[in-house]
Amino acid sequence: MRANTWAGRNKVKVRDVPDPTILNKRDAVVRITSTAICGSDLHLVDGYVPTMQDGDVMGHEFMGEVVEVGPGIDPDRLRVGDRVVVPFPIACGACAACAAELYSCCENSNPNAGIAEKMFGHPVAGIFGYSHLTGGFAGGQAQYARVPFADVGPLKIESDLADEQVLFLSDILPTGYMGAEMCDIQSSDVVAVWGAGPVGQFAMDSARVLGAAEVIAIDKEPYRLQMAERAGHTPVNFEEVDVRSRLLELTGGRGPDKCIDAVGLEATHGSAHIAAYDRLKQAVRLETERPHALRQAIMSCRSGGVVSVIGVYGGLLDKFPAGAWMNRSLTLRTGQCHVQRYMKPLLQRIERGEFDPTRIITHTLALDEAERGFELFKNKQDNCEKVVLKP
């Protein structure tokens, strides 16, 4: 089959690889009809995530048709021919984390958990196409994918909604929604969102759906801010104005009640076991401006407010404003999205017209054009916000 693969730093390559097969009894194989490039894929391409290997199939946002199921799959749960959206964290459904709906912290789905444990203190779930640290699972920027624990994760789509309306249930819509949900939004809240990329846009929409009085979008790309503005959010361009001053103006001097970091830190992976300590320092230093969003969110948030972090962090963070956090009674909440928890309720919200996930799609390309898609997205060319790939 054709698949988009990691080919070294700053290089992806569509090539022929073997078709996937069933390896575990509860696997399924999905023929992919739509897949997407995620902002977090850029961390891999930029070379900041260790344990990537030449030839790794990328991609963790995908959907399609089930073409094969393992002998351990209950036919009442999933059958050949089902149309499914696949959540990016691989979760067993049986461990204590899954029982608590903390699917991205699944204790069983990462065969390389021992490595992840060294880096994070405790292991994290397997993730499709996202390095060997998260399991070494082939991803979904391909014609087919093997889906482990297929009786737990995949969401069946039984209505006639187009792929583009449901594809983002795999990651970015639930991720944005969880960012807003963690804010415990009240009807009087002003919510500020750092980052107007795809996840940020969905965090903004989610804050509005959850009842926020006003939503502010912070970014530097005019086209991304315009996209947010068209959806009813208030743009703030951090290259044109002082963000803190502008936020105070917009909130009567109080500061936003809730702040969402949808930017993250591109370059923080490192582990004594995997990479030399210098590598970590180098990686962090290369991206010194990135933790700026989180620092600014903490400094801007009103006392007693919530700072919700959905941008990806991977290692150590420099100069964390602990004084502001502690002395002003801020609550910091975060997590890789527990996608499985949100898929069904968000599908219902899409069906009711509360979300229009298609509004962020700017480019639809053939899978074989993945390389160009990464270029467009990474370099923010041609007003690129979200690339959907068609295998």
Q: Which residues bind other proteins (CB under 8 A)?
A: 1, 3, 5, 17-21, 23-26, 51, 53-57, 72, 92, 94-96, 99, 107-115, 118, 126, 129, 132, 135-139, 146, 148-149, 272, 274, 277, 281, 284-285, 316, 318
In the block, residue with structure tokens 């370059």: 267
Cβ nearer to other proteins, comparing 61 with 214:
61
**Shortest Å, Cβ 98 to other proteins:** 9
Cβ nearer to other proteins, comparing 284 with 307:
284
Cβ nearer to other proteins, comparing 18 with 353:
18
**Shortest Å, Cβ 261 to other proteins:** 19
**Shortest Å, Cβ 303 to other proteins:** 27
Cβ nearer to other proteins, comparing 49 with 243:
49
Phi/psi of residue 284, nearest 5 degrees: -65, -40
Residue 179 and residue 308 in contact, taking contact as beta carbons nearer than 8 Å: yes
d(CA 316, CA 292): 14
Amino acid identity of residue 42, one-letter, is L
Structure tokens at 267: 């370059």
d(CA 367, CA 145): 14
d(CA 178, CA 172): 10
What 3-state class would DSSP assign to 355?
A: coil
**Shortest Å, Cβ 148 to other proteins:** 7
Cβ nearer to other proteins, comparing 27 with 205:
27
Structure tokens at 314: 């991977």
Cβ nearer to other proteins, comparing 24 with 381:
24
**Shortest Å, Cβ 129 to other proteins:** 7
CA 278, 283, 288, 294 torsion: positive or negative?
negative
Residue 111 and residue 335 in contact, taking contact as beta carbons nearer than 8 Å: no
Residue 210 and residue 185 in contact, taking contact as beta carbons nearer than 8 Å: yes
**Shortest Å, Cβ 138 to other proteins:** 4
What lies within 8 Å, CB to CB, of 176 at 6+ separation is: 198, 199, 200, 201, 202, 203, 204, 205, 206, 262, 310
